[in-house]
Structure 1
Amino acid sequence: MTDTTRHKVIFDTDPGVDDALALYYLIRHPQVDLLGVTTVFGNAPVALTTRNARFLLREWGHGAPVHAGASGPLTPDMPPEAFPTHIHGENGLGDHPVDLDPTDDPDDAAQFLIDMIRLHPGQIRVLAVGRMTNLARAVQMAPDIAGLVRDVVIMGGAFRVPGNITPAAEANIWGDPLAADIVFGAAWRVVAVPLDLTTRTFMDRSTLNDLGARGGPGMRLVADLSQNYVRFYQAAGYDGMLVHDAAAAVCLTDPDLFTLTTGEVRVLSDGMALGLTLMNPADRQGPMGAWQGRPRQFAALEGQPQAILDRIAQVCTG
């Protein structure tokens, strides 16, 4: 029988400043068993995101294994993408000093996902906050895992609001839209935490600094490496930072703070709307067409931003 009070989590990530806060939240949460971290390209090249994940886990005294994953998208003919160094720094962690060198790890994240899901049937919860490439490859390699995973929670999509990399698309989806379409189309439960909600989940600078002061060395590291991220938002007129990935982590542990909309989801993988997430909502179903045969998935279009921030603060400083 599955113990629903515990969360066996694999964190699929591309650290990444807001990824670091999400990882710290998972490590600190008393009901989360972090079984492993899989890395993907996105906020930085995969060699750096893998190095960054290892650095953070070491600094926080956690022994979860790190498995490197995809270095590029499944989507053919993707337009060139520059890594967002203006947001996450040249090293992916806000240019905070990192005393580990990148290594040339084997690309085994998808196989690690398959192995762990099969080892713990009905128990694994995957939290994916980067490109969905590792997940898509895993379910392509082993379609049976869709019926064995407990659920998949992702940070991604922009369903009823503009995107943050193009008017149509959120960055994680845009970076590999074919992979996202595969993930939404697999026979597992997917809950997306999209820009519709995360762009309303804003941690102001004074709160971040207060958490860093109260939360001990671990939270101090998060606050320190987030300073360039805050400066990026300051240039846009905001004194603080959006906590996209940590909001998705809270959705995994505290779903009562989120309101879900359900329907079949497709992702466009070409044209000017590349990366657009489109839901055929269950409460006002249109003709099925391209949604025919797709499973109904979930998107947290609404929620309680202040309660989400309070939960992050409670876990990360408790």
Structure 2
Amino acid sequence: MKLIYDCDNTIGLPNKDIDDGLTLLYLYQQPTVDLLGVTLTFGNGTVAQAQQQTTILTELFDLNVDVYPGSEHEQANKKTAASQFLAATVRRYPHEVTILATGSLANLAAAAQLDPEFFSLVKQIVIMGGLFKPLTVNGYRVDELNFSVAPTAVAQVMMSGAPLIIASGQYLATAVFSRQELALHSGNQARKQWVTRAINNWMDVTQQMWQIDGFVNWDGITAMTLFSPELFEFKQGYLAPPTPQLATGLLELTTIPNQHPVKLMVALKDLAQLNLLFLQGLNHYLD
């Protein structure tokens, strides 16, 4: 699988989400993945923060992957290292490249401005983000943070006609990786100490916010739909044209067939098994 990971990685920064970084580690050691590159966007933090933390991550865990920063907001210059890489790579491998997008969608929209055929040439786009109803985590109301930060870009992607798989917030809100499940190996102490500190810091934050002793693995579980589809339930639908509510991340479906079909991840069949597989991927670096 030829894959580009488009993310807003902030793992290791105090009080910032960690799942993008853990997802990159998971993706890198999947035997079926040809990780063509990582493009950085905003969302959890700034692109500068994402670039800083991704550099730390790739160096500490010996990840041989090229990283391309995008713009800091969706109205900025569209010609960035990220958008140029996306457009050129999809053009180079027509109908072969899967894009996993777990931050804002600004880089994808920018790539389409550079190459109007971008969306028709991509194999599929797997997206973490958006809502179809208000989102709660353990009873606490949560704002959507991926689609809402770049709604114009989201509208372009949703209406592009590209094959889309969406894992939206309300179907991932129960995807908790608990502190009790975090059984890390001890072979590489430097890596273990760094990642343990990052994970525990974020678990402390989610404990304060949502009374969860763990973290919601939004991005990791989304990535796993590509590799363990038997552990999920999916349904087909059609996207309705965007409304002003897209500014809050809200999408709408229609029962009328149109040119904007979407595959939705709607349930996790076995969270314990998914968490175990994800942990095994992380421990691969610590043995």
Q: TM-score, normalised by structure 2?
A: 0.85
Q: Can you list the C-alpha shifts for 1:134-185, whole angstroms capped at 9, x where unaligned?
A: 0111123323122222211111112245268x96952101111121121111
Q: Aligned-pair distance for 1:273?
A: 6.2
Q: Aligned-pair distance for 1:70?
A: 2.0
Greater Cα shift, 143-152 or 155-164: 155-164
Match of 1:187 in 2: 161
Q: 1:272 to 1:117 in 2, by over 3 A?
A: closer
Does the CA-based 8 Å contact 2:144-2:169 persist in structure 1?
Answer: yes
* 1:298 partnered with 2:279: no
List runs of 5+ in structure 2 lacking aligned partners: 11-17
Does the CA-based 8 Å contact 1:267-1:276 persist in structure 2?
Answer: no
Q: Aligned-pair distance for 1:121?
A: 1.9
Does the CA-based 8 Å contact 2:159-2:241 persist in structure 1?
Answer: no
* 1:113 partnered with 2:79: no
List runs of 5+ in structure 1 lacking aligned partners: 1-6, 76-105
Instruction: Give the Cα separation in 1 of the matches to 2:35 and 2:68.
Output: 13
Instruction: Give the Cα separation in 1 of the matches to 2:153 and 2:240.
Output: 11
Q: Aligned-pair distance for 1:67?
A: 0.7
Match of 2:207 in 1: 234
Partner amino acid for 1:151?
A: Q
Does the CA-based 8 Å contact 1:198-1:244 persist in structure 2?
Answer: yes
Instruction: Give the Cα separation in 1 of the matches to 2:71 and 2:38.
Output: 13
Alignment match of 1:278 (pick from 252, 267, 275): 252
* 1:309 partnered with 2:282: no
Instruction: Give the Cα separation in 1 of the matches to 2:115 and 2:180.
Output: 46
Partner amino acid for 1:28?
A: Q
Q: Can you list the C-alpha shifts for 1:91-144, whole angstroms capped at 9, x where unaligned?
A: xxxxxxxxxxxxxxx822111001111112222111110001101111233231
Instruction: Give the Cα separation in 1 of the matches to 2:246 and 2:87.
Output: 34
Q: Aligned-pair distance for 1:256?
A: 2.3
Q: Aligned-pair distance for 1:267?
A: 7.1
Match of 2:40 in 1: 39
* 1:211 partnered with 2:184: yes
Instruction: Give the Cα separation in 2 of the matches to 1:273 and 1:21.
Output: 28
Q: 1:13 to 1:201 in 2, by over 3 A?
A: same
Q: 1:179 to 1:273 in 2, by over 3 A?
A: closer
Partner secondary structure for residue 172 of structure 1: coil
Partner secondary structure for residue 299 of structure 1: strand
Alignment match of 2:120 (pick from 138, 141, 147): 147
Q: 1:294 to 1:196 in 2, by over 3 A?
A: same
Q: Aligned-pair distance for 1:271?
A: 5.6
Partner secondary structure for residue 174 of structure 1: coil
Alignment match of 2:5 (pick from 11, 16, 20): 11
Does the CA-based 8 Å contact 1:268-1:274 persist in structure 2?
Answer: no
Q: Can you list the C-alpha shifts for 1:45-103, whole angstroms capped at 9, x where unaligned?
A: 1111112112211111122111110211249xxxxxxxxxxxxxxxxxxxxxxxxxxxx
Partner amino acid for 2:272?
A: Q
Q: Aligned-pair distance for 1:274?
A: 3.1
Q: Can you list the C-alpha shifts for 1:14-48, whole angstroms capped at 9, x where unaligned?
A: 11211111011011222212111100111111111
* 1:51 partnered with 2:52: yes
Aligned residue pairs total: 271
Match of 1:123 in 2: 96
Q: Aligned-pair distance for 1:252?
A: 2.0
Instruction: Give the Cα separation in 2 of the matches to 1:254 and 1:107.
Output: 33
Identity across the alignment (%): 27
Q: Aligned-pair distance for 1:190?
A: 0.9
